Structure 1
Amino acid sequence: MNGDWLIRGRDGRLTVYLPSGDAVLCRAELGPGGPWEDDPRTVGGAQKLHPEAAVGQGADGYAHLAAWRPTAPGESGLVHSTHFRPHLAPLDWTPIGHPDKKGDRTGPPAVTVDGAGRGYVFVRNGNGGVSLRNQKVKGGWGGWLDLEGHDVEGELAAVTGESGLVELYASVPGGILRWRQESDGRKPVRTEGVEAPVRPGTLCALATSAEHTTVFFTDGSGDLCAWRPGEKPVTLLAVAGPGPVSAVRCVIEGYDCTVLAQRSASGRVAFAAYPTEQESAGAWWTESGPRLPADAVVSVALDEHEEVVAASLSPSTGTVLLTRRKDEPGLALEAWREI
Structure 2
Amino acid sequence: MMTTPAASTRRRTLCAAAAMLAVSAAWMQNAQADTWPSKPVRVIVPAAPGGSADPLARLVSEELARVLGQSFVVENRPGANGNVGSASVVKSPADGYTLLFSWTGTLVPAITLYNAKPYHPQKDLDPIVLIGSVPNVIIVNPTLNVKTPAELTQYAKANPGALNFGSTGSGSSYHLSGELYKKTQDVSMQHVPYTSPGAVLTDLVGGRLQLAFPGVTAAAPFAKDGRVRAIAVMSDKRADLMPDVPTTVELGMPALVSETWFGLLAPKNTPVELRQKINATINAALKTPAFRDRLVGLGYAPLGGTADQFEKQLAGDILKWGEVVKFSGAKVD
* Common fold by TM > 0.5: no
TM-score, normalised by the number of residues in structure 1? 0.24
TM-score, normalised by the number of residues in structure 2? 0.25
Higher strand share: 1
Greater C-alpha Rg: 2
Higher helix share: 2
